[in-house]
Amino acid sequence: HKYLTKYSYQNAETPQLWAELEAASGLPVQTVMKTWTEQMGFPVISVKSRQEGSDRILTLSQAKFVAVGNPDVSSYMWQIPIKILRGDSGEIIDVMMDQRTLEVTIPNLPADAYFKLNPGFLGFYRVQYSQEDLTSLFAAVGSM
């Protein structure tokens, strides 16, 4: 509402919209949106996990998604809001992927419990699981 009132009957530019959304939400809208509007394509997130005691450690890596061939890891990088679903409790964990590779710890996630990135498919990115994690996810979906 504030944005519409402030800029009614005027020309506004994209950065002004991001600034108003950032002020209203308290989130880094300008920084995130710059990575989405100033480069082409969208990312694929590769995820691998390992168990350390009772915790599951996820290693997330981003690259530009390509339908055929190898992902382009050269100059593309996004700031990506990521949601991770814990299979044991249904809890959603929010993280901001603001680097090419990121480690995320899911505390007390048993080795036999699954996790899922992008539950509800609301994020604008693809997910590539390791074969082991994909098998675990398939087993969980099959038992629902």
Q: Find, among 86, 64, 11, 87, the residue nearest to 95 by Cα.
A: 86
CB–CB of 71/87 below 8 Å? Answer: no
Q: List the chain pLDDT tens, one digit each, 144 residues.
A: 788 888 888 888 888 999 999 999 999 999 999 999 888 889 999 999 999 999 999 999 999 888 777 766 667 899 999 999 998 899 999 999 999 999 999 999 999 899 999 998 999 999 999 999 998 888 777 765
Contact 77, 100 (CB under 8 A): yes
- Torsions phi, psi for 122 (to 5 deg): -90, -25
**What pLDDT is recorded for position 8?**
86
Q: What is the pLDDT of residue 67?
A: 78
State how far the Cα of 59 lies from the Cα of 118, in Å rounded to an integer: 15
- Which pLDDT score is estimated for 5? 86
HSE of 36 in the Cβ direction (CA atoms, 13 Å)? 16
DSSP letter, residue 72: B
Q: What is the predicted pLDDT for the residue at 65?
A: 86
Instruction: Count other Cβ atoms within 10 Å, centred on residue 45.
Output: 23
In whole angstroms, what is the distance from residue 112 CA to residue 92 CA? Answer: 18
Distance CA 117, CA 127 (A): 7
Task: Return the pLDDT at 58.
Answer: 98
